[in-house]
């Protein structure tokens, strides 16, 4: 991605141009929705979170100092929106059941059967799930993931290995 | 199986064909933004570059994105730093002073030791930028959308009885984990009024106070600070004629540098605003307290409010580092004798404060623990701060997850360190994984056993010193604890 193009789009977006912001958004829109969808397990919730993220990002883009950080910044906001959605679910339900957020009811619960991706993802912790999606689904590096989640590079690398192993085992059961 | 094979296999599991919903298409998003933020639209727009130029940019962008390979083989080599640096490694502790008894927490000897510790850490890692966590807005039943007709009457059913013929009026309360330990919420009620906090649809939160006798809103506006600025409220508490609002600072999201004294807009701060609501139509701000760090959790026991925030140390340069490496409460640094340093130190502090909400001139007591945490549990006299740890050094260990629990005694405004303990597995960030019963702490955890290749769960009982006095391990194989009661 040409940094000059990004710089100019960010600059226009900071001046209030919704179209420029839209161009920036379009680059990542699919990634954002996929991330939220796999993380929350529900396309309706994912749609809400991406929508909320976009509003917040557009509103706050004035505070983005480095245009080159747009992507991590945007995903950081999305990560926060998704986790807020999960926290609100915990608060309103008392306990959160990840499966309650997903459409798992029609899937087989026989443990011996090979798990679907959704089932396998639901067995991971929130953080493992985020890392798995950012890395294995979207190909983000440990550095990018570290910026988004606010954790050390080295920690991300080991978490990528660990959570990848777990997911692989769940899927091949 | 090598890392690349793992990557290829897992990558192929994800569905490339997930369709973006129509509402999230660029066209619809742009249109929605223009509608919500009409005042932001500027005369400088992409159209002025010429439609051809715009089309070219879009084509170039698509082409570049389609051909860029983001993947790297693991282990990932160090990439040359650009101006964004992620969180850095933490040096081993330099402090020798231990608190009494066998604990994993150290206390700093002096302020200078803490500053020196961060200076050394900073020198290794250069400039640091910081991302602040914010929270999302929740709209309850469109109650704050003033475009809805009859919104004042659209109060949700929460079991309020308005029968004044009997002397006893029952009202619903927040579903708390521990009786006597109130938890913040966005909706509270007393026997007559309902208090809501909801978004107004444009990024701010409002307070609505509904009189259930008339089913009309007597107050429908924002929370204000002493300067008349709107503050963004996360949780509220209610006690007689006092309403306490706990807030993340106004500008929660942003890519910014930490600045020592400007708590609005530039740093992660938590604000506790106390309002006198004797006149429900006119809440009066009577007290405002701040503490460094983003708001994480709070509890109200009796009249004492305990507030937890998480404070990341970030500095523009080495000169300003000294000003920001110790968290402040009300603009004053927490004393070094109230700062605790666990063995595995993190990059952020957990700051715990206590204040009496009925005493507007009262003091605020505070302590801080250097280390990030995922979970909190509060009983009537103890605040537990819980961190997950993963042992990534020993890749042959069967079980690599553990939970470290730090307990702090609560006695009104006095908070003191009590004990540290650890158990296998993680609590999955649920406060309901812990429960105090007759001075013992029960903890339910789940972990992945690399030997048996399955999820297992355990239940531990810890005494007042957080030593394990009972346990049932390796139960519920292949399952994961989702909820505990």
The 10s digit of each residue's pLDDT in B404-423 is 888 888 988 888 888 888 88
Q: Chain B 163-222, CB below 8 Å of chain A: which residues? A: 175, 185, 203
pLDDT in the model for residue B394: 58
The rounded percent of chain B whose pLDDT value lies above 70 is 61
Model confidence pLDDT, tens digit, residues B262-317:
222 234 688 899 999 999 999 999 999 989 888 888 999 999 999 988 887 766 56
Task: Quote the CA–CA distance of B65 and A1 in Å, as a whole number.
Answer: 7
Which residue out of A7, A18, A157 would a mutagenesis test of the B interface target, given it has the greatest number of B Cβ atoms within 10 Å?
A18
- The CA–CA distances, whole Å, from A10 to A3, B63, B133, B443 equal 10, 19, 22, 48
- The verdict on a CB contact (< 8 Å) between A95 and B482 is yes
Q: Does A27 touch chain B (CB under 8 A)?
A: yes
- Closest Cβ–Cβ partner in A5, A80, A123 for B480: A123
**In angstroms, what separates the C-alpha of A112 from chain B's closest C-alpha?**
10
Above 0.90 for ipTM, yes or no? no
- The residue assigned the tokens 């107004």 is B200
Q: With an 8 Å Cβ cutoff, is B391 touching chain A?
A: no
Answer whether A56 sits within 8 Å of B10, measured CB to CB: no
| pLDDT confidence of residue B161 | 34
Task: Write down the domain spans for chain B.
Answer: 375-485
Closest Cβ–Cβ partner in A12, A77, A117 for B46: A12
Contact assessment for residue A137 and residue A34, using Cβ atoms and an 8 Å cutoff: yes
Higher pLDDT, A147 or B125: A147
DSSP β-bridge partners for residue B199: B205
Q: How confident is the model at residue B157 (pLDDT cuts 50, 70, 90)?
A: very low
> Is A21's pLDDT higher than 90?
yes
pLDDT of residue B314: 66
pLDDT for B79 beyond 70: no
- pLDDT tens-digit map of A115-154: 788 888 888 888 889 999 999 998 898 888 988 888 888 8
Mean pLDDT of B325-343: 83
Residue A50 pLDDT = 94
Q: What is the DSSP letter of B381?
A: S
Collect all residues with Cβ–Cβ distance below 8 Å to B10 and sequence separation of at least 6: A132, A136, A164, A167, A168, A171
**B26 contact A CB<8A:** yes
Q: Is the pLDDT confidence value at B196 over 80? A: yes
Walk across the sheet containing B193-199 and list its strands.
B187-189, B193-199, B205-211, B216-224, B230-231
> Domains in chain A, please, with CATH?
1-103 (1.10.1740.10), 110-173 (1.10.10.10)
The count of other CB atoms within 10 Å of the CB of residue B470 is 11
Return the number of other C-beta atoms located less than 10 Å from residue B280's C-beta. Answer: 17
CA distance B196 to chain A (A): 14
Confidence of residue B203 (pLDDT cuts 50, 70, 90): low
CA dihedral B286, B290, B296, B297 (to 10 degrees): -40
What are B95's two structure tokens?
A: 């402090």
Q: Which residue has the higher pLDDT, B429 or A14?
A: A14
- Asked whether residue A170 carries a pLDDT value surpassing 60, the answer given is yes
Residue B51 has pLDDT above 50, yes or no: no
What's the pLDDT at B303?
Answer: 93
Beta strands B205-211 and B382-390, pairing class: unpaired
Confidence of residue B354 (pLDDT cuts 50, 70, 90): very high
Task: Give how far Cα A53 sits from Cα of A25, B98, B198, B248, B456, Å.
Answer: 10, 45, 17, 17, 36
Indicate the burial class of B151 (C-beta count within 10 angstroms; 0-12, 13-18, 19 or more): middle
What is the distance between the alpha carbons of residues B337 and B352, in angstroms, rounded to a whole number? 14
């Amino acid at each position: 991605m040409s940094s000059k193009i990004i710089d100019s789009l960010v600059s226009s977006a900071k001046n209030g141009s919704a179209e420029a912001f839209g161009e920036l958004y379009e680059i990542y829109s699919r990634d954002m929705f996929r991330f939220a969808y796999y993380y929350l397990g529900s396309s309706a919730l994912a749609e809400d979170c991406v929508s909320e993220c976009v509003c917040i990002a557009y509103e706050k883009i004035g505070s983005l100092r480095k245009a080159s950080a747009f992507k991590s910044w945007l995903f950081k906001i999305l990560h926060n929106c998704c986790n807020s959605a999960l926290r609100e679910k915990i608060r309103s339900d008392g306990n959160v059941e990840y499966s309650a957020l997903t459409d798992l009811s029609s899937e087989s619960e026989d443990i011996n059967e090979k798990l679907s991706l959704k089932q396998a993802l639901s067995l991971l912790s929130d953080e493992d799930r985020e890392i798995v999606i950012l890395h294995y689904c979207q190909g983000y590096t440990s550095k990018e993931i570290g910026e988004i989640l606010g954790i050390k590079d080295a920690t991300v690398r080991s978490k990528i290995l660990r959570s990848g192993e777990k997911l692989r085992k769940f899927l091949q059961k | 199986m090598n890392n690349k094979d793992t990557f290829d296999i897992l990558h192929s599991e994800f569905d490339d064909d997930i369709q973006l919903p129509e509402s999230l298409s660029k066209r619809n998003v742009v249109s929605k933004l223009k509608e919500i933020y009409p005042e932001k639209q500027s005369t400088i727009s992409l159209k002025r570059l010429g439609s051809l130029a715009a089309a070219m940019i879009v084509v170039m962008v698509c082409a570049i994105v389609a051909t860029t390979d983001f993947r790297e083989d693991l282990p990932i080599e160090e990439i040359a730093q650009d101006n964004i640096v992620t969180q850095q490694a933490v040096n081993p502790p330099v402090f020798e002073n231990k608190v009494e008894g066998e604990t994993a927490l150290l206390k700093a000897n002096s302020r200078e030791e803490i500053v020196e510790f961060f200076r050394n850490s900073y020198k290794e890692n250069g400039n640091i930028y910081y991302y602040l966590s914010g929270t999302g807005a929740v709209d309850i039943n469109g109650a704050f959308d003033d475009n809805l007709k009859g919104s004042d009457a659209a109060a949700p059913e929460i079991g309020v009885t308005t029968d004044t013929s009997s002397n006893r009026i029952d009202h619903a309360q927040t579903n708390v984990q521990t009786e006597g330990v109130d938890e913040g919420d966005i909706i509270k009620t007393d026997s007559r009024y309902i208090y809501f906090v909801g978004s107004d649809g444009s990024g701010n939160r409002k307070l609505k106070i509904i009189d259930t006798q008339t089913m009309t809103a007597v107050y429908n506006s924002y929370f204000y600070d002493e300067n008349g600025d709107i503050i963004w409220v996360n949780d509220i508490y209610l006690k007689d004629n006092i309403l306490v609002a706990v807030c993340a600072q106004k500008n929660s999201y942003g890519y910014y540098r930490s600045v020592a004294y400007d708590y609005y807009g530039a740093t992660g701060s938590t604000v506790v605003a106390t309002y006198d609501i004797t006149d429900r139509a006119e809440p009066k701000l009577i007290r405002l307290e701040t503490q460094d760090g983003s708001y994480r959790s709070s509890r109200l026991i009796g009249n004492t409010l305990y507030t937890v925030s998480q404070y990341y140390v970030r500095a523009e340069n080495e000169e300003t580092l000294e000003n920001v490496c110790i968290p402040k409460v009300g603009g004053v640094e927490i004393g070094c004798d109230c700062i605790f340093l666990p063995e595995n130190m993190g990059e952020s502090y957990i700051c715990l404060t206590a204040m009496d909400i009925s005493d507007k001139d009262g003091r605020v007591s505070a302590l801080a623990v250097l280390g990030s945490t995922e979970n909190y549990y509060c009983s009537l006299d103890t605040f537990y701060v819980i961190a997950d740890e993963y042992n990534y050094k020993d890749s042959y260990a069967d079980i690599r997850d553990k939970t470290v629990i730090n307990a702090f005694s609560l006695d009104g405004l006095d908070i003191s360190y009590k004990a540290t303990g650890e158990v296998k597995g993680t609590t999955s960030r649920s406060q309901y994984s812990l429960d105090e019963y007759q001075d013992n702490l029960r903890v339910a955890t789940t972990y992945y056993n690399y030997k048996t290749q399955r999820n297992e769960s355990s239940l531990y009982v810890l005494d007042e010193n957080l030593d394990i006095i009972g346990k049932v391990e390796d139960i519920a194989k292949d399952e994961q604890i989702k909820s505990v009661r």
